[in-house]
Amino acid sequence: MRLPSVWLLAAAAALRSVVALPADASCFQPTVHLPQGTVKGMVDDSYQLDQFLGIPYAKPPVGDLRFARPQPVDASDALIDASQFGDVCMQPPAGFNMSEDCLNLNVIRPKGVAAGAKLPVLVWIYGGAFFAGSTPAYNASELVARSAQMGKPIVFVAISYRVGPFGFLGGKEIVADGTPNAGLYDQRLALKWVQHNIARFGGDAGRVTIFGQSAGAMSVALQTFAYDGNTHGLFHAAIMDSGGIAPGPLLTPHHPTVQSTFEQLAKGVGCTQAPLLECLRSANASAVQSTAMQLTAKAGGTFPIPGALAFLPLVDYALITDYPSVNLAQGKLADIPVISGNALDEGTLFAQKALNSSADFETWVRSAAVIYNTTYTERALQRVFEVYPDDPVQGSPYPNEGTNTSAATQDVGSRMYPPLESNQYKRSAAFFGDFTFNAHRRTYLHAAVGAARKNSRNVWSFEFRQNDMYPNGTGSALGAYHGSELKYLFIRPDGRQKDPQLEEQMPRSYVSFTYYHDPSRLSSLPWTRYTTGEVLQLKGGNVTTVPDTFRKEAMHALTNPSAAAVFGF
């Protein structure tokens, strides 16, 4: 069955919305001396910020370093022009400034901050299903400027990492002479760069919060699992927006699906004789990317995100030492303060649009979700079909009462909703949203508040239920969809009007957490620690706390130990 290309369209839009450099940038260039060279940035007078863009944190991952662990840059007395964004990592669509030489990062600070100021640091990891994403697509200028206006200035760092086949290729050849999870190792090396260098920009290496959305949030979660939860002092708190663990089941590098992907990629670029990895490393990067797109289209035939099951993080038993369900059960995750939250309708942006009967839905779930056949497989599937019934009232977009600034869900019982969608659209949206995002968030948080953890009380959660209105008073037909909260943290206009309270208080909450590891210190929002079993409902006109028990049986059916063994969690 053919799946929607909405995710690829979203990726293209994200790249096309690359942040424009300020027209009123000052001629003065702030300068920072690093072991790798002298970095000259730019001043953004419109927000009163210093920006240092495209700073390399690793050697170009080309030649023998393709599909390998990133290597730190050498010491140098070079002059580094940091007034323009660096190249974006290889991904669809083509035609932008992208290359393999993409392991760079951006540092934004309030104007004139001196070395040694020891400001807390917020490190951003972008999303994009581990197949796309870029730092220029997220404009944090307003967030950093707001922090300075609050009298609580922060330093913001946005890191690039390899995606798609360049960052997440598996197979026995990669295990033997490469690196599964190269993209996660990129993130790790960038965090090491922050530890070694951020003080020179005025940041405090001892107060680093990592923050991501979607695949970025999944990356954050995986970094908290890495090395059995050992942060190695690289970060001290974490924020996960709209993230589970991965946009699909997690596999091992030797799984037949992963090995087949490696072999098809090699064949697609003309590598037919051993050593295949050596040939792949010498292949044209654009050819590798083009072939990867063909493979992701095949993977997309069984899963709602093009790229799922093709190029994802892997349980490599090195960086990621075991399946998340095992690590969580054993308490092997970083003992740090955490915020983790989701949007109400996580699945609507990716829901299946070609399922016209209950039988279609069941066939799709079997092909998309079952990774390991066990004696429990059939029971697990039948339970999923029961708790995600063929009833549009129980599907997503979920019922959501309107307020003065948030639109109500329309046509709750309509099977063809949004208009022109398929018979099983709302059912598949409900399943996908929980399978990929919500159920994993809840399981993670239950482990994070474990009694043996020093930071068990320093855990918070939210559900974003705001459906912003267009000028005509209508909201999005997708509900409070995946990523819709980002416009309250980054400059991402979408033609809809923001709620004034959320616009003011959400950035304050994130700055507060970056400073104090507590989102409530600088915000009036009624944050409640997750030890109460409650989440903060973020909806204009009705911000309140609600029990984290919605769809309890359904999510348990996805994450209980027997089901986890079937679904690769």
Question: Which amino acids are annotated catalytic?
Answer: 214, 346
The structure tokens listed for 365 are 């779930």
DSSP string, 152-163: ---EEEEE----
Cβ atoms of residues 179 and 185 within 8 Å: yes
Q: What are phi and psi of 344, to 5 degrees?
A: -60, -45
Residue 538: name the closest of 393, 405, 399 by CA.
Answer: 405
Task: Convert 381-432 into a string of H (helix), E (strand) and C (coil).
Answer: HHHHHHHCCCCHHHCCCCCCCCCCCECCCCCCCCCCCCCCCCCCHHHHHHHH
CA 348 to chain centre: 17
Encoded tokens for 191: 């965090």
- Beta carbons of 486 and 139 less than 8 angstroms apart: no
Task: Calculate the dihedral angle through the C-alpha atoms of 88, 89, 93, 96, rounding to the nearest 10 degrees.
Answer: 30
| In 401-518, alpha helices (H) | 425-433, 439-448, 500-516
CA distance 345 to 433: 7
Separation CA 478–CA 501 (nearest Å): 22
Q: How far is CA 319 from CA 208, 229, 447, in A?
A: 20, 10, 20
Closest CA to 441 of 338, 314, 514, 307: 338
- State how far the Cα of 87 lies from the Cα of 96, in Å rounded to an integer: 9
